[in-house]
Chain A
Amino acid sequence: MSTIQPNIEQPVSEEMALVRRAKRGDDQAFEELVRRYDRNVFRIAQHITQNREDAEDVVQEAFLKAYSNLEKFQEQSKFYTWLVRIAVNEALMKLRRRKPERTVSLDEEVKTEDDSLPREVADWSPNPEQMYNQGELREILTRTIQGLPAGFRTVFVLRDVEGLSTEETAQALELSIPAVKSRLLRARLQLRERLNRFFQKRASGDGDQ
């Protein structure tokens, strides 16, 4: 039997070590957290708000909120997940302010046309990357994702663009895992269906553009 005491403490992640230093008032540690995640927060914010100035504001406000509430962070999730939660809430507030006519809520079940069964099934060949130049493709992708309801768009961006796990997405959005999964499925299918209108048209060569 080993006489060595088991190491009870979990190894602290590099991220958590920075967070703890920042909590003790080390601003350089906080600045490192900013540098680590500002690109991600900006992307998420711009996807949700669809507005560059709003996204800039969200980045600043989210980090400032994180900074001033750092001692309330319980370390039960990754710092990044907690930060994303703050940023998503800020971004949704901006969106509501800009588009008050549309209800923007993540809790609300998003009603859309029946998208359970895809209507058009056609292969995408050649690949979209080969069919369009970069600028055209960006335009198509941007317009397509902007057309998704905010609730779907947010889930898709966190999970598929930013690569958060299903659990982290659920934590960040304060949704249940089944709710994340069902929104993700519908977001993916709707995006596929919408992209299909571009990629199929070009591939079939009927030229009715």
Chain B
Amino acid sequence: MKCSEFLNELTNYLDGALDARTKSELDNHLAWCHNCYVVCDTTRKTIEIYHNSELYELPDDLRARLESAIMSKCCAHKKSEPPTS
């Protein structure tokens, strides 16, 4: 297996979306290719760090404001367009 072939499967590998045979081929490649090992490891860390980053959390006060704005707009919409039954 070449490094480029490894990289093409990297996303499937990290997502656990490979059949057993392909996975073991990739495991073998990782066992001897240090570069791919590092790329795989740091890509995994990239995903984890973003997954846990909480970059854009919605503050409670803004959340409360948005929720009441949404519900009052929905009510206004309902009144303007009564449901046809």
A: residues with CB less than 8 A from B are: 25, 27, 30-31, 34-35, 38-39, 42-43, 46-47, 55-56, 59-60, 63-64, 67-68, 116-118, 121-124, 127-129, 137-138, 141-142, 145, 156, 160-161, 163, 166, 181, 184-185, 188-189, 191-192, 195-196, 199
Contacts and interface: CB of A to CB of B under 8 A. Distances in A.
Contacts of A160: 47, 50-51
B22 interface: no
A8 B81 CA distance: 36
A189 B43 contact: yes
A64 B70 contact: yes
A188 B57 contact: no
Contact of B62 (A43, A56, A129): A56
B51 to A, nearest CB: 6
A59 B64 CA distance: 12
Contact of A35 (B46, B55, B67, B81): B67
B70 A34 contact: yes
Contacts of B35: 118, 121
The 4 A-B pairs of least Cβ separation, nearest first, read: A46-B56, A185-B11, A42-B58, A192-B46
